[in-house]
Amino acid sequence: MFAMCRSCWVKDALLATMRGVREVVVIVFLAICSMANAIKPCPRATVVRDEVSYCLSWRMSVEANNMAGWRTVPMQCLPYIQGYMIGGQYDRDMAFIADQILSYVKGIVLSDDGMDAWILDVDDTCISNLFYYKGKRFGCDPYDPKGFKAWALKGGCPAISAVLGLFDKLVESGFKVILLTGRDEETLGQVTVDNLHNQGFIGYERLILRRAEHKGQGAIQYKSGIRKQLVEEGYRIWGNVGDQWSDLQGDYKGNRAFKLPNPMYFVP
């Protein structure tokens, strides 16, 4: 009898102990959950995510021409623009657009009069100024006319491979490719010819640069006037390609216009 009571007492003690342990475990668990809920994410990580989202939206607005007149890249977007330009996405975007242009080209039936034309911009369309703008923090620094002229005079702008491939296809297909640039003919004419030739742009119909009579004209007025002259000469402009909206806007724009990405600067 005593043994049975003793056994019952031990059993009750063990059950009480287990209940106590369970209560402690529950309390600790609730405390941990409470602390976890009280802990907030690292503020810097949130800021970084917010900046990337903002800079992506900013670049998309720029490419869609919803931010006309902007002067510099926002300083907080420097890492994002740098990553876009040299991390591979810019090159992939250029190649994708070139493929779209070639798909359009395949559907064009050329005439036999030699007047089917295609217009290409030069800077950051045919040849790249990325090395120069790297020193300008990818557009975070204001435009420096003297600095850019000194860079251009070196004649070392590399070809943009996707556009060089497009150029070759256009020439091979029989289009008269006309290179239209805002560069000054007097100071940058020959160095631009040499730079283009050295980078493989051979076989174009003509290279048109700014002359004295174009002084004071904005890019849209200047390029519209040149396109008007070409149409009056009898050229049919099937396509127009540029990295700036001012390359593509205005009169006599051609049958199709193709905007290339460039989030580093804006030419009004």
Q: Is residue 42 part of a domain?
A: no
**Same domain membership, residue 96 and residue 12:** no
The stretch 33-54 carries a mean pLDDT of 59
Question: What is the signed CA dihedral for 201, 214, 118, 114, rounded to 10 degrees?
Answer: -100
- Write down the pLDDT at residue 127: 99
Question: What is the signed CA dihedral for 44, 47, 48, 50, rounded to 10 degrees?
Answer: 160
The stretch 26-37 carries a mean pLDDT of 46
Q: Is residue 126 part of a domain?
A: yes
pTM, two decimal places: 0.82
- Please name the helix (run of DSSP H) or strand (run of DSSP E) that holds residue 257, with its range, or none: strand 256-259
Residue 105 carries which side chain, given as an amino acid letter? V
For residue range 92-120, list pLDDT tens digits in order.
999 999 999 999 999 999 999 999 999 99
- Name the 3-class secondary structure at 218: coil
For residue range 194-244, list pLDDT tens digits in order.
999 999 999 999 999 999 999 999 999 999 999 999 999 999 999 999 999
Given a contact cutoff of 8 angstroms between Cβ atoms, the answer to whether 178 and 208 are in contact is yes
Q: Is residue 136 part of a domain?
A: yes
- The total number of structural domains in the chain stands at 2
**Same domain membership, residue 146 and residue 30:** no
Both tokens of 141, joined, read 């620094």
pLDDT band at 26 (very low <50, low <70, confident <90, very high): very low
Which residues, in sequence order, are CB contacts of 154 under 8 Å at separation 6+? 191
- Name the 3-class secondary structure at 238: strand
Output the DSSP codes for 112-146.
SSS-EEEEE--BTTTB--HHHHHTTGGGTSPP-HH
Q: Is residue 255 part of a domain?
A: yes
Q: Is residue 39 part of a domain?
A: no
**Same domain membership, residue 248 and residue 200:** yes
How many residues appear in the chain?
268
Query: Whose CA is closest to 170, among 93, 258, 261, 249?
Result: 258
For residue range 231-260, list pLDDT tens digits in order.
999 999 999 999 999 999 999 999 999 999
- Write down the pLDDT at residue 45: 44
Q: Is residue 167 part of a domain?
A: yes
The stretch 146-168 carries a mean pLDDT of 98
Number of CB atoms found within 10 A of residue 135's CB: 11
Of 42 and 193, the structure prediction assigns the larger pLDDT to: 193
Domain holding 120: CATH number?
Answer: 3.40.50.1000
Helices (H), 154-184: 161-173
- Write down the pLDDT at residue 22: 53
Residue 261 carries which side chain, given as an amino acid letter? P
**Same domain membership, residue 65 and residue 24:** no
Cα distances from 129 to residues 25, 107, 157, 253, in angstroms, run 65, 32, 6, 25
Domain that holds residue 15: 2-34
Q: Is residue 110 part of a domain?
A: yes
**Same domain membership, residue 216 and residue 122:** yes
